[in-house]
Amino acid sequence: MLEVLNFPIAGNALIHWMAAIFWVVLAVSVMKFLMPKVVSKIENWTRKTSTSWDDAAAQALATTRWFLIALIALSPASNELVLKPSVERWVHGVALAALLMQIGLWVGSFLDSWIRSARKHGMAVDPSTTSALSMLSFIARAVLWSALLLLMLSNLGFDVNTLVAGFGIGGIAIGLAVQNILGDLFASLSIVLDKPFQVGDFVVLDDFSGTVENIGLKATRVRSLSGEMLVFSNTDLTKSRLRNYKLMQERRIAFKFGVTYSTTPDQLQAIPEMVKEIVAGLPKVRFDRAHFSAFGDSSLDFDVVYWMLTTDYSAYMDVQQAINLALLRGFSSKGIDFAFPTRTLILETPRPVSANLSPAT
């Protein structure tokens, strides 16, 4: 029996080959039979939690590949054998490459599951986050697999310094060629993360206004009040002064009106109190002030300020209409007239001009 176990095969005893094969069989057996049960137990446990991190971890473990585990097992298996330095180096290189690929699958699956969960939550809270999360997923995967590829080539004995330098020069050239597109991409990411506006917000940009319908990777689409679609570059949006009315909590309203110069002082003194009673009696309104402010060219001017406790524009218009009608009724009952542009011309009676008609001496 000892002679059989010590029978040399390719420079190594049979017992050593059996030990090497045992490592590979053990790794594959654990992977095929034990790992599914472990993943099932973890998935049952994650269903009882409210976080998404453990669900992503369970999904990552489920991506374990048995052939990669078998290749990884070649590294401890080779330690049981006496191999040529070049062969041993390649065996360890293949095992390391398989390990890095498996790590890439684990991390990639974890990121994909977590981003999918965040995207599902974002669709309910803020639909604009989905595009940014997709871009983040792409960037994360590109960085992950690039780093793993360089690490793999380096451990296999390749000189990656030249490759990294080539990537750097190529990246600079590509970046210069598509700098406008990249600028819009990062501007989109800035918009979604900083949230100056979201889908559904009413915004005003220069002379344009409308409701945000989509925040894309390159452009943002806004539906104007007149119905047409306005498309803005994300870079332009981040550089512009933009007013977001959706974030407004209260609406400050200031308006003016004028009465005629024939209005008596007692009537002028009563007007602010009348305005206060009208405004304060309306729902969702907080009265601020009403003052006789100025002597106009053809009117005695009043300034009124109040706050709408809701941001609904229709509610504001309903309140302003009620105020205007109440002022008309109140002024009519008190004999007060609203002013309108007038001009008074005063013509003097001609005076006789004396004239001396005596001849000059």
Q: Where are the domains of the chain?
A: 2-125, 158-247, 251-334
Domain 251-334 has CATH 3.40.640.10: no
Are residues 294 and 339 in contact, defined by beta-carbon separation less than 8 angstroms?
A: no
pLDDT given at position 271: 95
Average pLDDT, 10 consecutive residues per value, the chain (361 residues): 58 69 78 74 71 71 77 74 71 78 81 70 57 66 76 69 63 58 71 76 85 82 87 83 81 93 93 94 93 92 94 90 95 91 70 63 52
CA atoms in the 13 A half-sphere facing the CB of 16? 14
How large a percentage of the chain has pLDDT more than 90? 22
pLDDT given at position 295: 94
Q: Which of 34, 20, 35, 24 is nearest to 71 (CA)?
A: 24
pLDDT given at position 293: 94
pLDDT digits (tens, 9 = 90+) for 297-309: 889 999 999 999 9
Residue written as tokens 């009413």? 202
Say how far apart CA 144 and CA 110 lie, in whole Å.
12
The architecture (CATH level 2) of 158-247 comes to Roll (2.30)
Q: Which residues pair with 30 in a beta bridge?
A: none
pLDDT given at position 8: 61
- DSSP codes, 208-227: EEEEEEEE-SSEEEEEETTS
Helix (H) or strand (E) holding 198, with range, is none
